[in-house]
Each structure stands twice: as structure tokens, then as C-alpha cells.
Amino acid sequence: MIGRMDAILGLFQSGARTLGGGAPGGGVLGVSEIARRTGISKPAVSRIAAELVERRFLERVEGGLRLGVRLFELGSQAAGPSDLRRLAFATLADLRSATRQTVHLAVLEGSDVVYIEILRSRFTPPLPSRVGGRLPAYATGVGKALLAHLSEDRLAEVLPERLTPVGPRTITDPAVLRRHLEEVRETGFAYEREESAPLIGCAAAPVFDADDRPIAAVSISVHLDAVDLVTLGAAVSTAAHAITRQAVQHQFRAG
């Protein structure tokens, strides 16, 4: 049963949602704990885990199991993210050296945002984001840049009815968020102040494919009183446009 396997593997990445105090050591879980958290019987977990270990989807280590090298292999070959990453790298690097701040590239996945690439800067305080990590879309700059360009019904099915705060000033009122997204659509870029992490703000802009569907978003994160967000918005917009051009040229399509 694939669903069960999915549930099991999901536990290992759930740590990514708890970005704040997440253990960077890499999640190690035991059979019993997995059984408890997923509701699957212990024998079943043991059996499935054994098979996943055999195929290197999991790895046995002292104290339990963790994600295996096979997933690393498959993940590095996932065409969507990898292509986008390669395609955008030069532009992102330019953006970082121009602004001297940390640059993010992310895609929308369900109601979350998944980080595809992160170019860190010494001049930006360390951020909890990780490549491959998730954050609720409505709480991040990249997320809002993407949400703003969804069709009304797509947006409805993607947005949770309850917005739970992840930063000091996360928007929790859906109506406020709607108004916010409209503004993003008009100005062409999104900004965010302390909605995902304390003292951190960012400006973000969407990247489109040939059919004008949003496929990703770029952002620059800064310590809030360091730089003017509007100036950054301009920079991030031109970078996003540049990546859009390359995406179109390489016939990159939305999933």
C-alpha cells in the first residue's frame, strides 16, 4: 500500500514544518513511534520499513530509521525542481551579489511553499528556511506572490479556512489576505514583514511559464530596518522577469 508508505515517509519531513526549533540533525524515528503517529499497526510498520530499507528509501541507524540515499538520488533527478534550479541559478546569483542579501526560489505545493534554492548572504541574519523545506504559502513573500496569480477557484481550494500564525505578524484573517493578494497582483510583487520569522521581511515576485501560469517565485529576505522593501521589490521583479524569459525559452511548463 502506497498510502501507508507515504504516511511513513511524511513523518520524516514533518519536522520541516516546525522550522523554528527543528532538529537539523535529520529526523530519526523508531518503528513504535511511527506506528503511534500514523495509526498503522506495529507489525505493518516493521514490515514496510524493512522493505523500504532494502530498497534504500530508508536507512537503519542507531536509534531507528531515517531517510535513505535512494530518495536523495530520485530527488536530485526530479526534473521540475532541478531544471528550474539550473535555469534560474545565474540570475539568482546576480540578484544576490547586487543586493547582498539572501535569495530564495520556491514553488507552490498544495497550500505550502517548497524551497527549491537558497543562496545565503552574510549580510542577512540566518533564516530557518531549508532547501526542500515547507512553509504555509500565506505566511511567506514567495507564497503570496504565487497565490496572487491563481484563479479564484484554485485559490479557494488551496487556502485553508483557518490561517494559523507562524510569525509574530502572520496574517490570519482571510479577508485581509484577499485584499493583500489583490494589491500584490496590481503592483507585481509581494512583500512581507515578520509574518514568517521575527525581524525578517522580504520582497518577492512570481515567475511565469509561456501560458502566464505562475510556476515559482523569487524573494530577497532582509533584516527589517536594513533596507527599503520597495527598492528590493523592483530588483526582485526584474530578476523574476529574467527567469520567466528563460523558462519560456526552455519551454518550461507548470506541473
Partner DNA sequence: ACATGTGTTCCGCTCACCGAGACACCGGCG
Partner DNA sequence: CGCCGGTGTCTCGGTGAGCGGAACACATGT
By the criterion CB under 8 A, which residues form the site for a second copy? 2-3, 5-6, 9, 12-13, 15-16, 25-28, 48, 51-52, 55-57, 59-62, 66-83, 107, 109, 114, 116, 130-134, 253, 255
Asked if residue 50 binds DNA (CB under 7 A), the reply is yes
Position 116 contacts DNA (CB under 7 A) = no
Q: Whose CA is closest to 142, among 102, 114, 172, 175?
A: 114
Reference 103, options 206, 204, 241; nearest CA is 204
The smaller minimum CB distance to a second copy, of residues 45 and 235, is found at: 45
Q: Which residue reads 551579489 in cell numbers?
A: 97
Residue 3: CB minimum distance to a second copy, A = 7
Smallest Cα–Cα separation from 138: which of 179, 187, 106, 177? 177
Beta bridge partners of 112: 109, 136
Binding to DNA, residues 13-32 (CB under 7 A): 30-32
Alpha helices in 39-139 (DSSP H): 42-54, 69-77, 79-99
Q: Which of the ranges 38-46, 75-83, 97-105, 189-197 carries the binding residues for DNA, by CB under 7 A?
A: 38-46
The reply to whether 42 sits near DNA by the rule CB under 7 A is: yes
Q: Which of 9, 13, 19, 46 binds DNA (CB under 7 A)?
A: 46
Q: Which is nearer to DNA, 67 or 239 (CB)?
A: 67
Minimum CB–partner distance for residue 36 and DNA (Å)? 7
DSSP 138-166: GGSHHHHHHHTTS-HHHHHHHS-SS----
Which is closer to a second copy, CB of 13 or CB of 238?
13
Q: What angle do CA 118, 205, 242 make, to 5 degrees?
A: 80
Kindly determine how many residues on this chain lie close enough to bind DNA according to the rule CB under 7 A: 19
Interface region with DNA, contact rule CB under 7 A, candidates 41-49, 110-118, 191-199, 237-245: 41-49
Asked if 44 interacts with DNA (CB under 7 A), we say: yes
Say how many C-beta atoms besides its own lie within 10 A of residue 235's C-beta: 21
Indicate the Cα dihedral angle 230, 233, 238, 241, nearest 10°. Answer: -140
Please identify which residue in 33, 59, 94, 194 interacts with DNA, judged by CB under 7 A: 33
State the DSSP H helix or E strand holding residue 201, giving kind and residue range, or none if neither. Answer: strand 200-208
Q: Which is nearer to a second copy, 81 or 143 (CB)?
A: 81
